[in-house]
Amino acid sequence: MSPHFLERWSLERRSPRRRSRSTISTSVLAFVLAIGLSLSASGGQGSAQAATATTATTATAASATVQPVLSCASVAGNINLLALSGANTSITSATSVAAASNPVGSWAACEVQGIIAPETHFTLYLPTSTYAGEYLQEGCGGYCGNVNVNTPTAAVGCAQSTAGNFAVAADDEGHEGGGFTAPAFQDPELKAVFGYTSEHQLALVSKAIIKGFYGSAPAQSYFDGCSDGGREALIEAQRYPTDFNGIIAGSPASIQTELNAFEEAWNAQANTAADGVSAVLTNADLTPLHNAVLAACGGTATGYLADPLACTWQPSSIACKAGQTSTAADYCLTPAQVTTVNKLYNGVRDADGKLLYPGYETRGSELNWSGWIVPRSGTVEATTTDAGIGTGAWQSLVSPTGTFDGTASYMDVKFTAAEFAKVTKANDGELDATDPDLTAFKAAGGKLILWAGYADPAINPVGTISYYQAVQKYMGGATATADFARLFLLPGVAHCGGGQGPSSFDALTAITSWVTADQAPSSLLASTLDPTGATTASLPIYAYPNIAVDTTGGPVTEASSYTPKVSTAEKNLQVTWLGSFHPGYETVSSWINGQWVTRPATKH
């Protein structure tokens, strides 16, 4: 334990900081949680309608409720976790919350807040009359820094969640402050907490509190997260395989070092003009560019591509001819714009053409570049999210020398094999979740649903496919992997939701059905919902490497029109990069010569 811990602990105990019960504060997470989701849990390759019926039956078969053995007011006095092994914890408050005031759902709860050493804040909601013996832990986004417990990102329509069957918790990953710059990471201990220990510690703490409050530990435990939350989800499966029975990992930032330090800086540099300030592509370019891709690759009827990796459209095909000026009626790309789009499609590479991240922007994702890669308004590239992440990563997340540079900019990043080697050696084992060895997780009976938006510009899906392929290779092939882990790619969907394709699904019911009834989800029923909650379009999302194809000639907006077809482009995808997905990443932290030192270690 850090020698600074006692001082911090004393201050926290004297003046505990109440965490807001409001909805997620950051704009990205608020957007993510606003989307609706609905997923089928059918065990076969039947229609989406049949799958929906299976899901509904499972969801309504709720377990008998478990009643508390303690009052909420007595939790802090009766549950002492100061000596909890691996997660020394102080419970700072326990407050009754009425159903109308509960941010997680319309059910009464006991809201427990506390601090896990050295300074991870958490909130746990314990249903007071609807608990059915299950625990749900929610991941965070960005670099976290806030405790945000809310409706799970992938569970809109989940009857168990709506009914308050789960005890639900989340934490701030060990530090305060949102966004993509975290000065706290200059403390090696706090960086390690963010990197891989916070969610394991919260699982230990939550289960201990649940056992004390209800008289028994949860029968099943689940984790749901997207973006950084997806990385947290994979950290749990890889490092702590017995923490959760079922895990949902959405658009995981699992290759985090390479993603933040290189890939996103590359995207921002690619769209920065020679003046070092202006954006090459502006928001006005995205619609005509996207339309050109759809017209070339068969997506005009739906507004998105069903099989993006099969599309080989080249931006040079709409390059401006000599003397031609681009207009709304006669759109074309300037030479600089052709170069930018090619760089985005080809991914971050060194001078020899070798990828520094195992992925690249997919064709058909162009509209979703707005805000992430292309300024949402104006022409200043530094206002984009990728520019901010690329800058923030070098200022506070990664350091090849041990010294962080508070003046670093995304424009300073050098895309060389030498720089890649220095940065990954210093950070990969601590920040990334790239281990394909899920042997222990599978042996423990764990189930994993991986999902990603196929038009996600923030964490492109190619990297997620590449990781899943590595898992398949290590775990004995496609069939052996599908026994416990499946990947679903949602066409047209952006980062953690939204975009042009149906993005509403309920993965939580699917994972609970898989864990408790061995009903493996072979398809997802994704929907588009209007402001009233009515479904305007639906689409079955089949497990990788299958895509949905309209083989019936029915309406493109109805799931019943589609059947599965193997995507040759997905199945045969081979990405070679400077890194690797090899088993054995793990780190240990030790207090040496007055400071925490984190170093790679052999996996147990």
Let me know: does 574 contact 557? Beta carbons within 8 Å. Answer: no
Is the pLDDT at 602 greater than 70? The verdict is no
Counting every residue written for the chain, the total comes to: 604
Q: Report the sign of the C-alpha dihedral through residues 498, 263, 26, 140, in that order.
A: positive
Mean predicted confidence (pLDDT) in 1-14 = 33
Q: What does pTM read for this prediction?
A: 0.88
Let me know: does 42 contact 512? Beta carbons within 8 Å. Answer: no
**What does the pLDDT read at residue 394?**
93
Mean predicted confidence (pLDDT) in 117-144 = 96
State the Cα torsion 440-42-523-529 to the nearest 10°: -120
Secondary structure of the chain: what % helix, strand, coil (to 5)?
Answer: 35, 20, 45
Q: How confident is the model at residue 1 (pLDDT cuts 50, 70, 90)?
A: very low
Q: How confident is the model at residue 209 (pLDDT cuts 50, 70, 90)?
A: very high
Mean predicted confidence (pLDDT) in 182-196 = 90
Mean predicted confidence (pLDDT) in 574-596 = 69
Q: How confident is the model at residue 503 (pLDDT cuts 50, 70, 90)?
A: very high
- Pairing type for strands 120-127 and 166-171 reads antiparallel
Helix (H, G, I), strand (E, B) or coil at 96: strand
Helix (H, G, I), strand (E, B) or coil at 125: strand
**Residue given tokens 């985005």 in the structure block:** 344
